Structure 1
Amino acid sequence: MDASFLYMETPSAHAHVVGTMVLDPSTSPVAYSFERVVDLILERLHLLAPFRRRLVTVPFQISHPLWIEDPDFDIENHMHRTVVRAPGSMHELAEIVGDIASRPLDRTRPLWELWLVEGLEDGHLAMVTKMHHAAIDGVTGADLMAHLFDLAPDAEPPPAPAQPWQPDTIPGDLELAVDALRHVTGNPARMVKVLRRTVKSVADVVQQRSGPTDPDKPTPAMPFTAPRVRWSGAITPHRVVAFGKATLDDMRLVKSTFGTTVNDVVLAACTMTLRRYLAAHDDLPDQPLVCSVPVSVHGKTDQAGTNQVSTMFVRLPVQLDDPLEVLRTINAETKEAKIMQSAIGADTLQDFAQFIPPTLFNRAMRLYSNLNLADRHRPVHNLIVSNVPGPPIPLFAAGAQVKGVFPFGPLLEGAGLNLTVLSNMGHVDFGVIGCRETVPDVWDIADGFGAAVLELRKLAEQAAGATDDRASEPAAKAAKATTPATPAKRAPARKAPGAAPATKAAAKKAAPPAKKTAKRR
């Protein structure tokens, strides 16, 4: 699976992921500097395997490339510094991040870069990382963050390893070829196992699709059913990014009020902001968009490798105007998508990735890109939406507190937009990356995400208030039933001859209880 991200990369479709961490250096016990960040990486290099490894290509590409510990590793090839232009807002930072994301990584070195961006507002800094997807996925990225960041600004560095990491010797062509042939000769046995699992997956999917249908449930979203929108088609190497933010508690309120999941709320907010964006650009389709949602299968597959991921397709009903209808529709869609994804199985995508002929796959992707074939057929999907769990507690990088973590995934040919959210210490940080030529005004999408979450929260508060009112009605009726009734006033009796004194005496005796009753009320 890792190698697949190498083969699908073209000059226009880069396969790296970019992360932007906004730092507050005022928490650092000593003066913050670029040199401190370099020292931070060096003292933890033994814990950061993807930072040390480089690729070695097998002769004639008869098998997948290998990872080795880089014998020519030089930290200066990977770490850079720059200054944001005034006034140093998030908009100016986005220009730098977009430029970094627009350039591919050098495959002759370990596939990562780290940029320290200085000059942000409020004295903040930004740490921008770029890593190839072949070396990292969402889960392994979280593991890297655990090694890279500390829980306190004055935390001690991790203990040095008993033995420093040792670089490998670059294997010769003959050694690589022999090892590749050994791998290839074992393919038939593995292929039998893969075919057996594939047959089962196909049978499960057919059974799922041919079973009794519920008219109230949607059919699973499928590839090649997406409408064409402005970012559907061939992409360029140029990237634009924007940052958004929301509150996790708002999403949890919406989730609990309407009986959905946080991921449903994320997809609903994405749908709402995309609807407004497309309407503003006179490009709103009359049918749902189709998005790819990566699903981690770590622990659910027996395949080796860094990337252990599957994909499910979900419709985003941008044609709907009512936010609650959007949320309920997405909740039904994701339930069906999970059933379909489970029927396909966690291993299917991983299985076939290992048998892809490297040269054929890469040349096919380059031909597809060079001929702009994505412009000539119905889109496979419209965009990618990822939801990545982040740190629930404060983190520090070389003493500086992490204030925001904004992830940006890769773009694929035919789908020039990627939305990624990451939960971070009670917030949800939202990263938007798009093709510069097909996604103008990208900040409208980022700002619209936070606005959509606030709109859903208000609807949740209204629904909760209405529920409280309905719940209080039976209690009010019960309270009314148990409240002592006010004594009814009797009509004055006619005065009978000779009976006046007795009537007055009775009235005097009855008066005290009446006063007590009034006092109780």
Structure 2
Amino acid sequence: MKQLAGLDASFLYLETPQMPMHVGALHLLELPEGYDGDYVEDLREHMRARLPLLPALRRKLLAMPLGLSNPGWVDADPDLDEHIVEIALPEGSGMAELEAQVGLLHPVLLDRSRPLWKFHVFTGIEPGPEGQPRVALYTQLHHAAVDGQAAVALAQVILDLSPEPRAIETLAARGRKRGQLGTVGLLRAAVSQQWKQTVKLARSLPSAAGIVGNMAAGYVGGAAAGASIDKLRALLAGVASQTTAVVRGKTSVASLGPAPRTRFNVSLSATRSFAGVTLPLAELNRTRKRHGASLNDAVLFVIGGALRRFLTKHGPLPRKSLVAAVPVSTRAAGDTTSNNQATMTFMSLGTHLADPAERLAHVMASSQAMKAQMAQLKSLMPTDFPSLGIPWLMQAGAMLYGRAKVAEKLPVVANVVISNVPGPQVPLYLAGAKMLTNYPTSIAVHGLALNVTVQTYNQSLDIGLMACGEALPETAELAAHVETAFMEFQALAVADAEPAPVATKKAAVKTSGKKPAAKGASPARRKTGGKAAARRGAGRSA
């Protein structure tokens, strides 16, 4: 048995029916030409062969006596008939139907008596533009077991580079089975874990104090010591970071205070709204390089532009910039451990600026300031800590927080979560089927009712918009605004240079029998670029 680290376990304690804590993705899959098998059974056989290499999918939770400390992971043999299920949709279903299904399934909590994952296979999907048979897959993995980078590592084991699955060396599952530790053994394990966590935390304090001291000294230079310490305290608390303010056409660095209150800063309901959108990665990279921007800068600029357009239409658009909570990985290069290794920072999106050029400069300067901070602060963010009594406190607090609608009463720190996870740049296959899309499905939390997660895949940028169904039912419209903001980015002139927009290739959209596009949406609804249209459609391309 291995007890969960403090950060991993927190995703269990914070989970409520209104705030599920699993992540995953929506995939459109193209079956081989002439396929006449049962894909659900094929996928079960495929996963059965890969499970020996997937310890994160072969373990379940074992609670500690009286719930005094973090539960542990114990080995378990998943029943693949329960973990991989078929959902038959009406024949000819497309992306609108798939997105609606994700919205319905995402609030359903995973069964904690089983390994914390589930795959939903959708049949009845409309064939591709040349009659290729298709299915879809919605995956769920609990965030207590994996973060974004760990999920990518899992995918590297599950997926293949060709339709023919590669040979996998069978490994025997290792570890103690549930039941080998009695109550006394579990208590001993819990006490031992508490001691190790306490010692580890104590050993980290001197180096952390040194970092804080160095940062404080840096802030003091030329300023009053008291004001500098106050500023540092705010920084370490996570309610202040460096961002940019565009004043009289010039970019300067200023402190970021509380975010403005928006329709996203509410307590969650038990409903979800989901939409996906694909942007061509080559075009995005070509555009961002013209402006000297990073890929993350480009993502923040496009999402910020979409939010500005949406709030301009539906109101109100705050006079102050929206603030994004941005997860930052602390995982070392090459670390494929299935756990959570991340922290959070905050960045201004410049949504108060009407001029796109000023907004881009704002985002880029904000990004640079954030990187300078994170280089020092990463080592201050613990992922494990003593947990005695924490389960009771966090679970009770999470329930009370939602029921009392505390999110509406506290100052707003951020308005939206925007996460950028690097992914594979080649086409991948699952049980012989080609993966066409990889739309992340992530977590909305009380006070942050919209989560935007981005992942690169096969020369595309796949974006998943997950929101509370009551706070933001119009995720499809927001996805259309993402496309429009991307085209605005393409058309943006470089300073002291002629505009060099990259034309967007339009493709006909099959609308017969489908839900009409949202008012004001781009005519190329979520299929920017010709290649993306072919991959995106689930039958939408003519």
- Identify the TM-score tier after normalising by the shorter chain: 0.7 to 0.9
Instruction: Provide TM-score, normalisation by structure 2.
Output: 0.80
On the 8 A contact 2:44/2:84 being kept in 1, the answer is yes
Which of 213, 219, 231 is residue 254 of structure 2 equivalent to?
219
* CA-CA distance at 1:304 after TM superposition: 8.1
Match of 1:323? Answer: 356
Q: Distance in 1 between matches of 2:334 and 2:387?
A: 14
Residue of structure 2 in register with 1:149 after alignment: 159
State the distance in 2 between where 1:27 and 1:303 align.
35
Mapped partners of 2:260, 2:14: distance in 1: 23
Distance 1:104 1:393 in 2: 32
Which of 92, 111, 119 is the matching residue for 1:114?
119
Q: Could you tell me how far 1:324 is from its partner in structure 2?
A: 1.8
Q: Which residue of 2 aligns with 1:169?
A: 178
SS state at 1:242 partner: strand
1:217 is displaced (CA, Å) by 3.2
Which residue is 1:279 aligned to? 312
Which residues in structure 2 correspond to 1:254-265 (within 5 Å)?
A: 254-265=287-298
- Give the one of 118, 126, 139 matched to 2:149: 139
Aligned equivalents of 1:264 and 1:381: distance in 2?
18
- Letter in structure 1 aligned against 2:465: V
Post-superposition Cα deviations, 1:46-93, rounded to whole Å, max 9, x if no partner, equal 11112111011111222211111115x322221111123454121110
2:93 corresponds to which of 88, 105, 110: 88
TM superposition score normalised by structure 1: 0.83
Unaligned runs of 5+ in 1: 469-521
Asked if the contact 1:24/1:401 (under 8 Å) is kept, the reply is: yes
Deviation of the 1:28 alpha carbon = 7.6
Higher helix share: 1
Which range moves more in the overlay, 304-313 or 1-10?
304-313
Deviation of residue 192 (structure 1)? 2.1
Are the structure 2 counterparts of residues 218 and 205 from structure 1 closer, same or farther at C-alpha, using a change threshold of 3 Å?
same
1:197-252 deviations in Å (ceiling 9; x for gaps): 44234334434544469994323545xx1111012121112111001111111211
Partner-residue secondary structure (3-state), 1:44: helix
User: Does residue 1:57 correspond to 2:92, yes or no?
Assistant: no
Corresponding residue of 1:493? none
Which whole-Å CA distance do the structure 2 matches of 1:196 and 1:451 have between them? 50
SS at match of 1:445: helix
SS in 2 for 1:219: strand
| Contact map agreement 2:69 2:389 (CA 8 A) in 1 | no
CA contact (8 A) 1:290 1:316 kept: yes
Q: Is the 8 A contact 2:322 2:351 kept in 1?
A: yes
Q: How large is the RMSD of aligned CA atoms in angstroms?
A: 2.7
Larger radius of gyration: 1
CA contact (8 A) 2:68 2:391 kept: yes
Q: Which moved more, 1:119-128 or 1:281-290?
A: 119-128
2:266 is matched with 233
1:5 aligns with 2:38: no
Which is further off, 44-53 or 203-212?
A: 203-212
Aligned counterparts, 1:450-465, within 5 A: 450-460=483-493, 465=498
Which whole-Å CA distance do the structure 2 matches of 1:301 and 1:155 have between them? Answer: 24
Give yes or no for contact 1:27–1:399 (8 Å, CA) kept in 2: no
Q: Distance in 2 between matches of 1:259 and 1:377?
A: 38
Partner-residue secondary structure (3-state), 1:361: helix
CA distance in 2, matches of 1:348, 1:190: 13
The reply on whether 1:40 has 2:41 as its aligned counterpart is: no
Native 8 Å contact 2:300 2:363 kept in 1: yes
Decide whether aligned partners of structure 1 residues 27 and 435 sit closer, same or farther in structure 2, where only a CA change above 3 A counts.
Answer: same
C-alpha distance in 2, partners of 1:354/1:447?
Answer: 44
- Mapping of residues 277-316 of structure 1, within 5 Å: 277-299=310-332, 306-316=339-349
Query: Hey, what's the Cα distance between the residues in 2 that align with 1:49 and 1:303?
Result: 12
Task: Tell me how many residue pairs correspond in the alignment.
Answer: 464
Distance 2:365 2:218 in 1: 16
Cα distance in 1 for partners of 2:202, 2:161 equals 48
Instruction: Give % identity.
Output: 28
CA distance in 2: counterparts of 1:351 and 1:302, whole angstroms: 17
Q: Is the 8 A contact 1:27 1:400 kept in 2?
A: no
**CA 1:101–1:136: 2 relative to 1, 3 Å:** same
SS at the partner of 2:319? coil
Instruction: Structure 2: give runs of 5+ residues left out of the alignment.
Output: 1-6, 128-132, 224-243, 246-250, 502-542
Offset of 1:147 from its aligned partner?
A: 1.1
Assess, with a 3 A threshold, how the Cα gap between structure 1 residues 323 and 86 changes in structure 2: closer, same or farther. Answer: farther
Match of 1:375 among 391, 408, 426: 408
Equivalent residue letter for 1:44: R
User: CA 1:44 to 1:186, structure 2 compared with 1: closer, same or farther past 3 Å?
Assistant: closer
